[in-house]
Structure 1
Amino acid sequence: MGAASLSANAGSLISSTEYLDYQLPEKIQKICTERDNCPDIEVKYLKSNHSWIDNTVNARIDALVVNSKPSESGARVVKTPDDVKAALDEFVTSQFAEVPADSVFVYSLMVTPEYLGHVNDFELFEINSYVFTGGAHGMPYSEYLTFDLTTKKQVTLDDMLIKGKKPRFEALAHDAYKAWVKTVADDVSSYEKSWPFVLSDNVTLTETGINIRYQHYSIGPYAYGMPVLSIPYSQLQGVIKPQFLPARLSNK
Structure 2
Amino acid sequence: MRYWQWAAMCVVLGMMTACADKPQVQMAADVIKTKEQNQSFAWQNKIISTKDNINQKCTNQCPQIEYQLISTPYAWIDSTINKAVLSILDSGEESAEGSPAAKRIQDFYAKPVVNDDELGEQLGRIKQNLDRLAKEVSGEQMVVVSAKPDFLGFYKDLPQMSVSGEIYLGGAHGMTSYFYYVFDLQAKRQLDLSDVVLPNQMPALQQTLQAQFDAMLRSQGADPAEHGQSWEFFVTRNFVFDKDGMEFLYQPYEIAPYVYGPISLRLDKQQMRALIKPQYL
TM-score category of the 2 structures, normalised to the smaller one: 0.7 to 0.9
**Structure 1 match to 2:41:** 14
TM-score by length of 2: 0.72
- Retained in 2: the 8 A contact 1:209–1:233? yes
What's the Cα RMSD here?
A: 2.7
User: Distance in 2 between the 1:244 and 1:201 partners?
Assistant: 16
Cα gap change, 1:77/1:91 in structure 2, threshold over 3 Å: closer, same or farther?
Answer: same
Task: Please give the alpha-carbon distance, in whole angstroms, between the structure 2 residues aligned to 1:111 and 1:17.
Answer: 17
- Note the 1:1-252 alignment, pairs <5 A: 8-9=36-37, 11-12=38-39, 14=41, 16=43, 18=45, 21=48, 23-24=53-54, 29-32=57-60, 37-48=61-72, 50-73=74-97, 76-77=105-106, 79=108, 80-81=118-119, 82-96=121-135, 98-99=136-137, 103-245=139-281
Kept in 1, the 8 Å contact 2:137–2:143? The answer is no
Flag the 1:113–1:25 CA change in 2: closer, same or farther, 3 A: closer
Gap runs ≥5 in structure 1? 246-252
Consecutive unaligned residues in structure 2, runs of 5 or more: 1-32, 109-117
Displacement of 1:93: 2.3
Q: Tell me how far apart the structure 2 counterparts of residues 30 and 150 of structure 1 sit (CA, whole Å).
A: 46
CA contact (8 A) 2:193 2:237 kept: yes
Partners in 2 of 1:218 and 1:196 — Cα distance?
A: 9
Q: Give 1:134 deviation, angstroms.
A: 0.5
The number of equivalent residue pairs is: 231
SS of the residue 2:182 aligns to:
strand
Deviation at 1:200, TM superposition (A): 1.2
Asked if the contact 1:212–1:230 (Cα under 8 Å) also holds between the matched residues in 2, the reply is: yes
Q: Secondary structure in 2 aligned to 1:201?
A: coil
Deviations, residues 135-173 of structure 1 (Å, cap 9, x unaligned): 011111121100123333211111111222211211112
Deviation at 1:194, TM superposition (A): 3.3
Q: What amino acid maps onto 2:59 in structure 1?
A: I
Aligned equivalents of 1:161, 1:201: Cα separation in 2 = 11
Partners of 1:6 and 1:120 within 8 A in 2: no
Mapped contact 1:160–1:241 kept (Cα < 8 A): yes
Deviations 1:73-131 (A, max 9, x none): 287326322122112211122221x135xx33211110110112221111111111111
How far apart, in 2, do the equivalents of 1:209 and 1:156 lie? 17
Structure-2 change in CA distance of 1:136 and 1:85 (3 Å): same
Cα distance, 1:30–1:169 mapped onto 2, change above 3 Å: closer
